[in-house]
Amino acid sequence: MEHAGIEPAARDLFPGALEMMLLEALRREPMHGYALVQHIQRSSGELLEIEEGSLYPALQRMLKAKWVTAEWGLSARNRRVRIYKITADGRKQLEHKVSSFERMLEGITRVMKARTS
């Protein structure tokens, strides 16, 4: 979905942004893949659209790194789905990613403010 010339830009996210958002969503509650996509899209005001081609490889990397676990469960529509849950290592990784993101955002903000001086 596009808004006033703003196109969904998941493919333009900086490295680690998708994992950070997935971990944050899972910090709130365990979810299956489609619910994660919906959560990110809704939370971003429809500005971000995560595609399966990005989502599932990211979840696999996070499973391998032991930042999340997965178990089979049922969706609200009674379909069999993998439900992902953040681990203690995932919570530590989330803290690290958020801290790095905040530093990067501060640096970008300073550069952009310097532009107007």
* pLDDT tens digits, one per residue of 29-68: 999 999 999 999 999 999 898 888 899 999 999 999 999 9
Q: Which tokens hold the place of 82?
A: 């993998």
Instruction: Residue 21: give its domain's CATH number.
Output: 1.10.10.10
Say whether pLDDT at 10 is over 60: no
CB 69 within 8 A of CB 84: yes
Has residue 4 been placed in a domain? no
Q: Which tokens hold the place of 40?
A: 């990110």
Has residue 56 been placed in a domain? yes
**Alpha-helix residue ranges (DSSP H) falling in the chain:** 17-28, 33-43, 52-64, 88-115
At residue 117, the pLDDT reads: 59
- What percent of the chain clears pLDDT 70, i.e. is strictly above it? 86
CB 69 within 8 A of CB 77: no
Q: At 13, is the pLDDT very low, low, confident or very high (cuts 50, 70, 90)?
A: low
d(CA 61, CA 32): 16
Number of structural domains in the chain: 1
At residue 38, the pLDDT reads: 94
Has residue 68 been placed in a domain? yes
